[in-house]
Structure 1
Amino acid sequence: MTLSPASVPRFARGMRLREDPARGRWVVVGPERLFVPDEIALEVLRLLDGARGVDAIVDDLAARYHAPREAIAADVLALLDDLQAKGVVTA
């Protein structure tokens, strides 16, 4: 299922974002899995709270980085679709 601007993404069951002091990075951990998000993905993942929709996430990022909303929306949806396919997020 592809996410839409109205979707409310959250971490999938067993997945969570946490700071890993040993690596000095933020990581997404889950059962037998570990992902190290890049800086852009990390900014999106920090906004996943299970209450905020994709549109609100895009609005936040567009305001914060003074970037075109359409470009951010396309990037956020592509990232979330990829993470959904990997079982990291759900909606």
Structure 2
Amino acid sequence: MTSTILPNVPAIRRGFRLQFEPAQGCHVLLYPEGMIKLNDSAGEILQQVDGKRSVAEIIDNLHQRFPDVPGIDEDILAFIEVAHAQFWIELR
């Protein structure tokens, strides 16, 4: 899938909610059956997923915020693919 998803607009799937959980010290993705604890990178990416920005725009935003991270584009694409495969997000 990789670069073919660049124009798609990701949205957090219905029934899921992203929030910062102070007790966990990180962002989590909540859903009716439980919670997914996210690492810092995943939290940063999912905070950009608003149902309005394309994958390319999310990559651009994060690349501007973290210009010294090598391979950030590929890491974001890989995470978006995993999140989509896990049904955390949908691509429009």
TM-score category (smaller protein): 0.7 to 0.9
Q: Mind listing any 5+ residue stretches in structure 2 that lack a counterpart?
A: none
- Percent identity over the alignment? 33
- Count of matched residue pairs: 90
Any residues of structure 2 matched to 1:38-57 within 5 Å, and which? 38-57=39-58
CA distance in 2, matches of 1:12, 1:57: 17
Cα distance per residue 1:6-45 (max 9 Å; x no partner): 1100101101101223333321011203111101111101
Structure 2: which amino acid aligns with 1:64? R
TM-score under structure 1 length normalisation? 0.86
Partner residue in 2 for 1:87: 87
CA distance in 1, matches of 2:86, 2:35: 11
CA distance in 1, matches of 2:56, 2:90: 16
Instruction: Report the secondary structure of 1:50's partner residue.
Output: coil
Structure 2: which amino acid aligns with 1:55? A
Q: Mind listing any 5+ residue stretches in structure 1 that lack a counterpart?
A: none
CA distance in 2, matches of 1:58, 1:4: 12
Partner residue in 2 for 1:7: 8
